[in-house]
Structure 1
Amino acid sequence: METSNIEVVLAVLFGSLILALIGVFMFVMVIVYQKRKIKNIREQQRLITQYEQAVLKAKVEMREETLKYVGQELHDNVGQVLSLIKLYLSQPEIQQKAAIRQLIDQAISDIRSLSQDLNINRVEQYSLSDFIEQELNKVHKAGLVKTSFESMGACEPLNMHDRLMISRIFQECINNILKHAEAKHIFVKLFTVDGTCMLSVVDDGVGFETTAAHLGSGLINIYDRVKLIGGDIEIHSALGAGTEIKLRIPRLTFAEN
């Protein structure tokens, strides 16, 4: 009888120990789960903060880019036209009235165009396709590089911040070409493939070794911003063979045509 009682006590103790171990295990699992949950929440908050900071930085850069362009246009184009008008007015001959009127019309047109460019929020007012076309027209107007643009399919992100980021990424691609590529032509395509937005920027410039290119701050900014919007980017280049940049953004919601 005593042996039986001892076995019962041992069984109870063993069962209690097992239950205690299970309880401890469950408690530890809950703690681990909570820590992981808190870590994930903090990581999400960090990514959101990083994204918001990148958007703010992109806005500032676009504002600086716009003001720089407008200042140059005022100096090179509008200023030159007004100087010619002043010159003609200093010699007010009858046959010059038509030329003066034409110059005034040109100055008005240039100022209207610049007033549109001064609108910092034009990314919100124009489609991505229109924005890209306007940027390429600026480059073409400068006479340094010829440009070509082709837009196919619906590729219009509804998220305004994503549109801003893509627009700034495109500007950085173009700026890198103008600064380093010594290109004569820039070919840009905006299209969709199986619901994925693709932006292709190709130049016929001097090219570069892609292994060393990651050190450049321009390309680092491009890579970082592409990552923040959930996309990826491919850069193909070689010395003397130009450069091709392919931007893919698979997780954006696009407007339908």
Structure 2
Amino acid sequence: MDASNIEVIIAVLFGSLILALIGVFMFVMVIVYQKRKIRNIREQQRLITEYEQAVLKAKVEMREETLKYVGQELHDNVGQVLSLIKLYLSRPELQKQTDSTQLIDQAILDIRSLSQDLNINRVEQYSLNDFIEQELNKVHKSGLVKTSFESEGTCEPLNIQPRLMISRIFQECISNILKHAEAKHIFVKLLTKAGSCTLSVRDDGVGFETTAVQHGSGLINMCDRVKLIGGDIEIMSSLGAGTEIKLRIPQS
């Protein structure tokens, strides 16, 4: 066998080896791609499941919050007005001094207001701006804390699920202030800028060390929900200087 034949055989073998290596490489790449694809699909499914569970949990919590508020209003306001009406009707001498019709009208107005609050789907019926105003009016009506609300632009997520999550996060902020802050005033701002919304909830309460409560379940719930809707949250507080929670969320 002459040298030229040997060179041809070596070239063929070398070419075959290269083709084999390319084939193995392509096979490995296909396997890696398929594994990544499966992993990404599973991750997407996990995120979708978490999101759906978070939305469902938010609905349940809002329902509980609403029923709690309605029960308190029935006891403190409507019940008191009806008791006064009963007293005036049972004592003619009092009827001359007080117009029971006015009390009945007040009871009707209170019941109508509560019937609107009982509609758990009111998040779908009202804008985010209107929902925040309604929630702050409840707080202001209680007389426990003063409230201020500033709105600039139109902040309205297109889908109902993000709006529900934002509404629930806002309720959690207000609930935490009422429970722990000992605040005299709540300041809320809803601003729209560059395709995103910023919701700021600030109080003049006792404040807290953020490092000491960063693992609290309430704050973790809020942070998790913000991530699920593609936003971010900033918590600023210190002892004696109040607290501000700033939520940035996409419009879409």
Short-chain TM bin: over 0.9
TM-score, normalization: structure 2? 0.97
Q: CA deviation at 1:102?
A: 1.0
In the alignment, the residues of structure 1 paired with residue 18 and residue 212 of structure 2 have an alpha-carbon distance, to the nearest angstrom, of 60
Q: CA deviation at 1:95?
A: 4.7
Which one-letter code corresponds to 1:218 in the other structure? G
Partner of 1:139: 139
Please list every run of 5 or more consecutive structure 1 residues that lacks an aligned counterpart in the other structure: none
Which one-letter code corresponds to 1:155 in the other structure? C
Which one-letter code corresponds to 1:74 in the other structure? L
Partner of 1:159: 159
Q: CA deviation at 1:4?
A: 2.2
Alignment of 1:96 onto 2:90? no
Partner of 1:3: 3
Change in CA separation of 1:94 and 1:243 when aligned onto 2, cut-off 3 Å: closer
Alignment of 1:199 onto 2:208? no
Q: CA deviation at 1:54?
A: 0.3
Alignment of 1:91-240 (within 5 A): 91-93=91-93, 95-96=95-96, 98-240=98-240
> Which 4+ runs in 1 deviate beyond 4 A?
none
Structure 2 residue matching 1:230: 3-state secondary structure: coil
Please list every run of 5 or more consecutive structure 2 residues that lacks an aligned counterpart in the other structure: none
User: How many residues in Structure 1 have an aligned counterpart in Structure 2?
Assistant: 252
Kept in 1: contact 2:88–2:95 (CA 8 A)? no
Which one-letter code corresponds to 1:110 in the other structure? D
Q: CA deviation at 1:96?
A: 3.4
Alignment of 1:47-62 (within 5 A): 47-62=47-62
Partner of 2:63: 63
Kept in 2: contact 1:214–1:220 (CA 8 A)? yes
Partner of 1:46: 46
C-alpha offsets along residues 158-197 of structure 1, whole Å, 9 cap, x if unaligned? 1100100000000000011011100000000101122210
In the alignment, the residues of structure 2 paired with residue 95 and residue 82 of structure 1 have an alpha-carbon distance, to the nearest angstrom, of 14
State percent identity of aligned pairs.
85
Which one-letter code corresponds to 2:224 in the other structure? D
In the alignment, the residues of structure 2 paired with residue 89 and residue 95 of structure 1 have an alpha-carbon distance, to the nearest angstrom, of 7
**In angstroms, what is the RMSD of aligned CA positions?**
1.2
In the alignment, the residues of structure 2 paired with residue 223 and residue 173 of structure 1 have an alpha-carbon distance, to the nearest angstrom, of 12
Which one-letter code corresponds to 1:82 in the other structure? L
